[in-house]
Each structure stands twice: as structure tokens, then as C-alpha cells.
Amino acid sequence: MSTDKKLFGGFSRRDWLKSVAGLPILGSVWAAGWDTTEKSKLEKELLLERLNIKASPPPPSGSMEGNPVRIGLIGFGIRGEQLMRALGFATNEWLEAMAISSQEDPNDKRLEDFKAQENLNVKLVGVCDIFDVRAEDALRSFNTSDNPCKRYPTYLDMIHSGDVDAVIIATPDHWHAPMAQAAIEAGVHVYVEKPMTHTVSETYLLREAVRRNPGAILAVGHQHRQTLSFLTAQDAISKNTLGHISLVVTNTNRNDDNGAWQYRIHPDASPDTIDWNAFLGNAPYVPFNKEHFFRWRKWWAYGSGLSGDLLTHDYDRINCVLNMGIPKYVTASGGIYTHRDGRNVPDVMQVNMDFPEFSTGSSQESGKEKGMSLVYSATLGNQFDRGTVLMGHDASMELGNILTIYADPRSTQYKEMIQDGRIDPAIPIYQYDPSANGVDAVTSATAKYFANKGLLWTYRDGKRVDSTFLHIREWLSCIRNGGNPSCGIDEGFEEAITAHMAGLSFKTGRRMEWDEETEKIITLPEEELDAILLDNSVSYVS
């Protein structure tokens, strides 16, 4: 008889676990005299069985077979180039740089990962960029005999050409909604980067356009919705593992020029190579300004500041786990405290989002617990990693690329186990690392920051996979096979309204209130909301 069967009286561990599956974790089953290591191991197995958290991937998106989807790219800047690589198109310059890097550092797997990507069966048929240098860079790499690609003078020319089935929009924020709406109304599918819109009114107009044109699929670029640990967190929450969650804290910490949107200004930029009026669009006229063009995130006229640019990542990460929707109240404060360089968006910001009626369930008597606050804070002057924590009555969850759950010392649900010494609140009761069979290769604090937010990669079957690739694949699957993107118009609407409420609160110094029945921000007159958001002063006085 095996040692395993001797220990359990002739039964295998599996048989024994089955036999006690219906018993409480505590009680007479804890026989004295067991081997301490085996006993500890079994206790852990029983606890995991009781928690029953399923670390399973999402359903696979559908087949990529059929006619190639003809895609046009609008905006070939930093994010546009990243999106093209996720689609399967890398510039010659990037391929050369990665080849050198992989030779110098064997742990650099970026080129290897790119080459291993599944073929998504698409044609990149068009590029539209108002900076000649970028457009020409794209054509030099992507316009080949196997993939004929042309430059369109305007996004409307591209959308109405009849040559594209779908567009990817990677432009400054103030162009997201106008371009997306024009494409949707033309029956062209849209993948648009966050934030979905730049103003409150655009948010309603775009939603109406999508509802009127159900055949055109819109996806918002929150690729963290593909992250395995976040999907596992959904299962943990659905099983009331944490009890009532009253507080969620999340943050953005950056401390370098790139993180503060001080992007490189191209030496060939000039009024001759940039269509300045096309860049401005609906923004107030200012003379040609290289800094505004390359560092547009620093101004309300083109960007959305911390509230629209970075808060949206963290809000949507929590929304995909909790599905709590738009907050009832939003209060924001902050200022320009770390980069006094002419920008008019804050670089330090605190945002409180309150959900008075929200509940994740309870282990206590009915009615005692209800309501939650989501607190977001950001600084562009420090990169200390504070993490994201969901704080429940029974347990707290650290949410990153690795998911960790700690029982709370005052938990009701785990009280007996804590008292009996079978749960130590200082030691995780559950930890999920989807990279168990993979290599993270995190080489910098910046990479760790993006990875923990699910913005760089996740895992499938222990292998590291680009999160953006999976998100784009999901969108293409919806186009080909039907279904809804994990971040579609409804999720994008919630993201955009929440971000705009934060921007409005920061500018006015007032608490913004959302009326769920009318779906309106009711703190201020509706006709003033966009004017306040777009006002170029740091704060707004009504």
C-alpha cells in the first residue's frame, strides 16, 4: 500500500477529498497524529476546494478564417505603431532594433513573441496620418506586394472609400469620437483607443450611432479585459470570497519624462510636414506649435489629463471585475505640482468615486453592509508601486498580473479558521500567478507598472501573450463570427462618463452627481458641461 493510502486509511487523497467534500472544513476530520507536512498540504487543498475560485481563461474567440478583413489605420504615432504590431505589422526599423536587442539580451523575447503571433488574416489597406513622416514610415514598411497599402489624405476619405471594412483609431483624444461616429454611421467597424470620447455630448452621440447601426462593431481599447488574473478575480468576487467590499484603492505612479507625456519632438516636424488645421479639428485655434502636436496629452483642448488618459485604465479594470457601472458621486482634486512646464492638465490628482447602493454580497446580517468607494490617486512625480487593493469585510484582494487574497483578521466568514490557527491573515489564502510556466522578463519599473495593469501581456496555457493582440483578436472575431466585445459601447459609455465627471469635479471644485434613471450628470446645467471640460484654464470658476 502506498504511503498516501496508508495516511488516509486505505483511501487515496482524491478518494478522501471526495468523501469529505460535504463536510465543514473544521471539526473531527482533523485527526491527531497526521504528518505535519501532509496535514498542512491537505488543509490547503480543502481551503482551495472551499473557495472554489476558477482560474480559467475566457472562452476562445472565434475562427480567423474567411476573407481577410480590410483594415485602415488612423494615426500612426506611438500607440498606432503598437497596435499595428498586435495586428501583425511591424516597421522595418522596429524589426531591426529588436533583432539587435535580442542578440544583446537573451531574455528579450519581444521579437520572438511577435513572430509567434497567430496570423489574424487581415489586410492593412490604408493609413491616414497628418504628419508626412509617420505616414511615409508606415507605407515604407507595410506597402508590399503581399499587402498593398495606400495613404489617405483624410480619415473621411478612408472611411468612405469602400476599400476598408474596419478602422483602428489611435489619434489624440479630441478626434476619437468624431472619427468613430463617422465610421460607424458608414457601416465601418471601429477599434478606438481610450478614452472613448473627449466630451460629455460626444459620449451620447456615439452611443446613439452604435445603437442605430448594430452591424458595425465598436470596441474600446481596454486590453486589460483579456488579463487572466482579472478574469479570475471576477470568479472570486462572484463567489463572495471577499465579503462586502467597501473600499477599492488604485493609482498611477510615474516619474519620468515619457510617463509625464514629454514625448520626443521629431526634428522634421514643420508646417510643411504637418497638416496643422487637421490636427486642431474642433480645438481652439492656436498657431503651429510642435509641443502641442507631439505632447498633446498635456492640454485639455486635445487630451483628457489624468482623468481621461490614466484613470480610465484603472476604472475599467475595476469595472470589468465588479461591474459596478457609473458612480453616483465623483469628487476630484489636485493640481500641477511636479511638471510646471506650460501644461494645463493636472499632474497630481485624487478622485473619489462613490457607489452608495452597490454591494458584492455579505457574510453578515442582511442590510448591515451596502455601498462602496473607489479611490484613485495619481502623481507623475514618483513611481513607488502602491498596487491595487479591493478591501472586503472578509478578505482583501491585491489585483495585478498576480492575484493575491488575504483573509481579514476580523472576518465573519473565516472567523473560526482564523481562531483555530488554520488561516493566518498575514499569509495569502489564495494566490494565482498565470505566469507559473512562463517568464515575465520585467526589466524596468515602467514595464512592471504596465504589466500589473494588464496593459502589456497576459497568459494562455502558461505562455505569455500580448494583451492588445488578444483584444484586437476578440474584436475581429466579433466582426467575423458575431458576438459582443468585452469592452463595447456600453462599457465605453460608463468609462467615458466617469472620466468626464472626474474632470468636471476637478475643474469646478464641486461633487458631480449621476442620475441613473435619466442617465444624466445633474450637478450642472447640461449645456455647460462640455464648455467646462474644454476650458483651457487649470481650474474653472462658475
Predicted TM-score (pTM) of the model is: 0.89
Residue 460 parent element (H or E): strand 457-460
* Tally of CB atoms within 10 A around 24: 11
Question: Which three cell numbers mark 383?
Answer: 513611481
* Element of type H or E holding 66: none
- How far apart CA 21 and CA 426 sit, in angstroms, is 27
Helix axis angle, 200-212 to 176-185, nearest 10°:
20
Cβ neighbours of residue 498 closer than 8 Å, sequence gap 6 or more: 311, 312, 315, 326, 327, 330, 353
Torsion angle of C-alpha atoms 516, 517, 521, 525, degrees rounded to 10: -170
Query: What is the bridge-based pairing of β-strands 348-355 and 329-335?
Result: antiparallel
**Residue 322 one-letter amino acid:** L
Place of cell 504615432: 77
Q: Quick check: 221 and 192 in contact, CB under 8 A?
A: yes
d(CA 166, CA 479): 9
CB 456 within 8 A of CB 467: yes
Beta strand spans in 175-231 (E): 189-192, 218-220
Q: Running along the chain, 542 residues long, what does each successive block of 10 average in pLDDT?
A: 39 39 32 48 71 75 95 97 96 96 91 93 98 97 95 98 98 98 98 98 98 98 88 91 97 94 97 98 97 98 96 95 97 96 96 97 93 98 93 96 92 94 90 63 44 59 82 97 96 98 97 98 97 76 37
Of 319, 152, 343, the closest CA to residue 250 belongs to 319
154 near 182, Cβ under 8 Å? no
At how many degrees (to 10) do helices 78-87 and 467-481 cross? 60
